A = this chain, B = another copy of it.
Amino acid sequence: MKIETILSPLLFKHIDSIEKKIVVVIDILRATSTITTIIDHGAKALIAVVDEANALKYKNEDYLIGGERNGETISGFDFGNSPFHYKKNLVKDKTIVLTTTNGTKCIEISSNASDVVIGSFLNLSAVANYLKNKDKDIVLFCAGWKDKVNLEDSLFAGALAQKLTNAELDDSTLLCLDAFEMSGKNLIKTLQKSNHFQRLERKGVIRDIEYCCELDTINIVPILKDGLIVKS
């Protein structure tokens, strides 16, 4: 089993034979953490879209729409981007349409992969077990921030690599693994130095960050199936 890590969508072009590989999409703050929460709370499916206009096309009685603009829930939307908005009683058996710029782009780029999996610290062990059972080559695809490398996605790649012992790691994965082993034991403290933490702190969503750094609180694996994200 080989593991490659893509630290920014701009580096995805290095991946070959994607159709034989499993891609884990990683956008820790907050898209893939929120998606994992929504699927765990019993949503029937989730559609990730890149912007407000795409989301509004789905507006009807059967779909609920989530997303933010400048930290505020968008007019006509049912939820913002915080995982805390998606309570069980609101999302159970519903299809959720979620706007997420960086995460959606990664899902679209990876759509030819053998499998596309949604990863977050919340379901770290569940994703690791899923990957062990599949026993295919793996691409850890960090969404980053506007095509830049970010710390939280990179550290998650390291955390996942740490669980997949005996895999053959490329240099990007080795870098993430070493960094996670250095500082991942106190994720919040480590991420306080990061650029995204400081952006979100200004928006007052520290509670979201703390939530997204919880390990193994969720035991399901969201996967992409026919354009929809569903429970595996």
Contact yes or no, B194 A147, CB < 8 A: no
Give the contacting residue for A149; candidates B11, B190, B194; CB below 8 A.
Answer: B11
**Chain B residues within 8 Å of A151, by CB:** 171, 174-175
Give the contacting residue for A196; candidates B147, B171, B181, B194; CB below 8 A.
Answer: B171
Measured CB to CB, the nearest residue on chain B to A181 is: B182
Report, nearest first, the 8 A-B pairs whose CB atoms are least far apart. A178-B179, A182-B182, A151-B171, A178-B182, A149-B172, A179-B179, A178-B183, A150-B171
Q: Counting CB contacts under 8 A, is A57 at the interface?
A: no
Contact yes or no, B176 A148, CB < 8 A: no
Residue from A11, A170, A175 with most neighbouring chain B CB atoms (10 Å):
A175
Q: Nearest-CB distance from A146 to chain B (Å)? A: 8
Q: Counting CB contacts under 8 A, is A154 at the interface?
A: yes
Q: Counting CB contacts under 8 A, is A188 at the interface?
A: no
- CB proximity to B under 8 Å, residues A153-170: 154-155, 169-170
The copy count of this chain in the complex is 2
Whether A149 contacts B178 in the complex (CB less than 8 A), given A11-B8, A11-B10, A170-B195, comes out as no
Contact yes or no, A179 B169, CB < 8 A: no
Ordered by A's residue number, 11 sampled pairs between the chains whose C-beta atoms are within 8 Å are A7-B149, A8-B11, A11-B147, A145-B171, A148-B170, A149-B172, A154-B171, A155-B175, A174-B193, A176-B179, A182-B182
- The digit string for A10-45, where 1 denotes a CB below 8 A from any CB of B, is 110010000000000000000000000000000000
**Chain B residues within 8 Å of A7, by CB:** 7, 149, 172
Q: Nearest-CB distance from A158 to chain B (Å)? A: 9
Q: A14-B147, A155-B175 are in contact. List 8 more A-B contacts (CB 8 A).
A: A8-B11, A149-B171, A149-B172, A151-B174, A154-B171, A171-B194, A175-B175, A176-B179
